[in-house]
Chains A and B, each alone.
Chain A
Amino acid sequence: MEELILELKQEIIAVLNLEEVAPTDIADDAPLFGEGLGLDSIDALELIVLMEKNYGIKLKDPAQGREIFKSIRVMAEYIYANRTK
Chain B
Amino acid sequence: MPLLVRKYCHIANREVRVNGEAFPVAESDGDGKFLTSLYRSLKIDYPKFFKMDSLSKLGFLASELILRDENPRFAPREDLAVICFNRSASLATDALHQAAIQREDSCYASPSVFVYTLPSIVTGEIAIRNKFFGETSFYVCEERSAQQIFRTVRHAFHDKATRAVLAAWVECGGETLEALMALVDTECQAGIPLEEFLRGANIA
List residues of B whose CB falls within 8 A of some A CB. Answer: 36, 47, 50-51, 106, 108-112, 115
Contact = CB atoms under 8 A, between A and B. Distances in A.
Contact of B47 (A15, A18, A53): A18
A45 interface: yes
Interface residues of A, number: 14
B50 A49 contact: no
Contacts of A38: 47
B47 A49 contact: no
A52 B106 CA distance: 11
Interface on chain A toward B: helix, strand, loop, or mixed SS?
helix
Contact of A20 (B47, B106, B109, B115): B47
A53 B50 contact: no
B156 to A, nearest CB: 29
Interface of A: 15-20, 38, 42-43, 45-46, 49, 52-53
B106 A53 contact: yes
A17 B108 contact: no
Given A17-B50, A52-B108, 13 more contacts: A15-B110, A15-B112, A18-B47, A18-B50, A19-B36, A20-B47, A42-B51, A42-B111, A42-B112, A45-B112, A49-B110, A49-B111, A53-B106
22 contacts: A15-B110, A16-B51, A16-B112, A17-B50, A17-B112, A18-B47, A18-B50, A19-B47, A20-B47, A20-B50, A38-B47, A42-B51, A42-B111, A42-B115, A45-B111, A45-B112, A49-B108, A49-B109, A49-B110, A49-B111, A53-B106, A53-B108
